[in-house]
Amino acid sequence: MKYLLTGNDVTVENITDMDLKQTLDCGQSFRWQELDEGSFIGVAFGKVLHLNIEGNNLVLHDCSEQDFLNIWKPYFDLELDYTNIRNELSNIHPILNEAALYAPGIRILSQEPWEALCSFIISQNNNIPRIKGIISRLCSSFGTQLSENFFSFPSAKVLASLNEDDLSPIRSGFRAKYIIDAAKKVASGDINLEEIRNMSIDDAREELIKIKGVGAKVAECTLLYGLHRLDAFPLDVWMKRAMHNLFPGMTPTDFGKYAGIAQIYIFHYSRMHPELFE
DNA sequence: ACCCAGGAAATTC
DNA sequence: GAATTTCATGGG
Distance CA(A76)–CA(A136), nearest Å, equals: 21
Q: Is the CB of A237 under 7 A from strand B?
A: yes
Confidence of residue A176 (pLDDT cuts 50, 70, 90): very high
Which residues of chain A form beta strands (DSSP E)? 3-6, 9-12, 33-36, 39-44, 47-54, 57-61
What does the pLDDT average to over A16-25? 98
Catalytic one among A132, A177, A212, A217?
Answer: A217
- Amino acid letter at A51? L
Gap from A229 CA to B12 C1', in Å? 37
- pLDDT score recorded for residue A66: 98
Q: Is the CB of A126 under 7 A from strand C?
A: yes
Q: Is A164 near strand C, with its CB below 7 A from some atom of it?
A: no
**Residue A37 pLDDT greater than 90, yes or no:** no
CA distance A100 to A89: 8
Residue A123 CB lies within 7 Å of the nucleic strand B = yes
Q: Please identify residues in chain A, positions 205-244, with a C-beta within 7 angstroms of any atom of strand C.
A: none
Q: What is the mean pLDDT of residues A92-99?
A: 98
Which pLDDT does position A137 carry in this prediction? 98
**Biggest alpha carbon distance in chain A?**
54
- Kindly state the average pLDDT of the residues A101-126: 98
pLDDT mean across residues, chain A: 97
Q: How confident is the model at residue A203 (pLDDT cuts 50, 70, 90)?
A: very high
A278 pLDDT tier (thresholds 50, 70, 90):
confident
